[in-house]
Chains A and B, each alone.
Chain A
Amino acid sequence: MSDVRTDELMAVLCARQIHDWERLAAGANSPIPAAGVRLAQELWAPNAREAGSGDVAPFIGAKEFTQLIQRGKVDLFFFSAVQLDRHGNMNLQYVDLPDGRRRRFQGAFAAPIYYYSAKRIVMFRTEHTPRFFVDQVDYVTASAASHPRLRRHGTLTDIITPLAVLRYNPEAAGIELASVHEGHTVDEVQAATGFSLPLADGFGTTVPPSEQELEALHGPVYDSMAGLYPQFVARMRSEEKVG
């Protein structure tokens, strides 16, 4: 379990993915990217619109958002997964157990279509372990790689974890290390990753949250989230006072 400061850093990193006027969505029950969306809206992306948020009137049925994303109108979608491999394949569905049985999770949800339809996919995951970053996923729910006969609007770009930001390089069809958060090292990130991580162009230290970002998070962002994510906000605020 990550601590409050790490959750806040991840929310800030999610926010920095968002530009003004973009259309985007975060999955349900995802307080960290939800905080990121509100933070971006508060500071630099007042016209970014999040489907399914209180500010945007609801769609009719599940199909309407799917149609929006399928025709390439959604700029950014936040995903999590059970496994992610060196080629950017993601797995939401099954993990092979040592005894040969297969552990079932909940299902693919919309990933086998959305992973190809959003212009940018950002993954976030609150654990950075070799259990998540595997050499090869046990089941490919959706694939990041392009090939000439595949039509897609976009693919995986960044992966945000408690240790680092990783980046999908479409030319190499592989995952690289974009930046390491303060207090962590390249060796530590490599040891927590189940495949070898080349350093991305422009590799460096993650820019820590600014005063302005933290102030907005602790004020208007948590205020606006308290209705939908009461437990998350209570946790962030209780530890805020202790720290």
Chain B
Amino acid sequence: MAELYRSLAELAELVPDGTRLCLPKQYPFALLRELVRQGRRDLDIVAAPTGNFGVDFLVAAGAVRSVEAGAIHLNEYGFALNFNRAWEAGQVRFIESSCPIIEIGLHAGSAGLSFTPVPGLIGSDILRDRPDFLVVPDPYDPEVDVVLAPSIAPDVALIHGLRADPHGNVVCSIYNDERLVAQASTTVLATVEEVREDALDVLAFDEQVIPSIYFDALAVAPRGAHPLGAHGLYEDDHAALRIYVQAAKSAETMRNYVDRVVRGTADEAEYRRLAVEELSHV
């Protein structure tokens, strides 16, 4: 019988090629790196509701077929250099959307509905780029039109929790959409910084517990959000992010970065050793 807690490599094996993969913004970066080590391809990403380094990294590693998002950027570092380059070269498809459309689509998915009305949007060119969105008379107020959009029920959601208890109840910050994503997705996987008996005993005002019933498998991944931070535990590693952004300036330097930092490390323990070593030279 499979255990709830497994290794990072076992978790990654639950995400096959071609998965429609949902990523809230607190990325389980260790798990994303493991997907790349395992050579995953053709992922269709739903960013909840925008994407940054985690999405851009998977695109740079050649693991992504399409991205559906309200926006993709590198936080305060600006444009998503790898994503934009791959998009211009036709190597990745962007599915036009907007943050509220993704949120309400996931909300409908979480309720088992097949579609949802979406407010606004009429007059936007996004409607031209999304032929699957329909403009229909509001059935309860036929004087006005309303946009209908398919609900979003991703195959797999990947979450990074701040801690969990041995039963698999996961503590996350309240700032991102982990809860919504867990409710909407068919399979839910999480990495956590640590497992503790008393993980739920004291919650900060901006923490929440995602009940274990949502999760299919978990893995422990200390510093698993690196190079980004984990809310309340450690900050974004700006030295490491600057190395990333520098590498992202050309396809060749980015390929070298992915080969060295991810494909060149056997596992996360080796990644962490390399990260410390690289940064000591900065």
Chain B stretch 39-85: residues in CB contact (< 8 A) with chain A: 48-50, 69-73, 76, 79-80, 84
Given contacts A60-B208, A63-B177, contact A104 B84 (CB under 8 A): yes
- CB of A113 within 8 A of CB of B98, answer yes
Shortest CB-to-CB span from A53 to chain B, Å, is: 14
Interface string of A128-165 (1 = CB under 8 A from B): 00000000000111110101111110000000000000
Contact of B176 among A62, A139, A150 (CB under 8 A): A62
- CB of B87 within 8 A of CB of A113, answer no
- Return chain A residues, CB-CB under 8 Å to B121: 112-113, 116
Is A106 an interface residue when CB atoms closer than 8 A count as contact? yes
Shortest CB-to-CB span from A153 to chain B, Å, is: 9
- CB of A63 within 8 A of CB of B107, answer yes
Is B120 an interface residue when CB atoms closer than 8 A count as contact? yes
Chain A stretch 109-123: residues in CB contact (< 8 A) with chain B: 109-117
- Return chain B residues, CB-CB under 8 Å to A59: 174
How many residues from B make CB contacts under 8 Å with A? 50
Is A108 an interface residue when CB atoms closer than 8 A count as contact? yes
Which range holds the interface residue count of chain A? 35 or more
Please report the C-alpha to C-alpha distance between residue A149 and residue B141 in the assembled complex, in whole angstroms.
Answer: 10
- Return chain A residues, CB-CB under 8 Å to B146: 151
- CB of B174 within 8 A of CB of A141, answer no
Name which of B28-36, B123-131, B153-161 contacts chain A: B123-131
Give the dominant DSSP class at A's interface: loop
- CB of A106 within 8 A of CB of B177, answer no
- Return chain A residues, CB-CB under 8 Å to B126: 108, 112, 141
Contact of A70 among B100, B125, B141, B175 (CB under 8 A): B100
- CB of B101 within 8 A of CB of A112, answer yes
- CB of B70 within 8 A of CB of A109, answer yes
- Return chain B residues, CB-CB under 8 Å to A185: none
Please report the C-alpha to C-alpha distance between residue A149 and residue B137 in the assembled complex, in whole angstroms.
Answer: 8
Chain B stretch 113-171: residues in CB contact (< 8 A) with chain A: 118-126, 137-138, 141, 143-146
- CB of A113 within 8 A of CB of B73, answer no
- CB of A57 within 8 A of CB of B205, answer yes
- CB of A142 within 8 A of CB of B123, answer yes
- Return chain A residues, CB-CB under 8 Å to B3: none
Please report the C-alpha to C-alpha distance between residue A126 and residue B123 in the assembled complex, in whole angstroms.
Answer: 26
Chain B stretch 78-106: residues in CB contact (< 8 A) with chain A: 79-80, 84, 87-88, 94, 96-101, 103-104
- CB of A150 within 8 A of CB of B144, answer yes
- CB of A70 within 8 A of CB of B205, answer no
Please report the C-alpha to C-alpha distance between residue A63 and residue B49 in the assembled complex, in whole angstroms.
Answer: 9
- CB of B103 within 8 A of CB of A60, answer no
Contact of B174 among A58, A113, A142 (CB under 8 A): A58
Q: Output the nearest chain B residue to A90 by Cβ-Cβ distance.
A: B124
Residues of B within 8 A of A (CB): 48-50, 69-73, 76, 79-80, 84, 87-88, 94, 96-101, 103-104, 107, 118-126, 137-138, 141, 143-146, 174-180, 205-206, 208
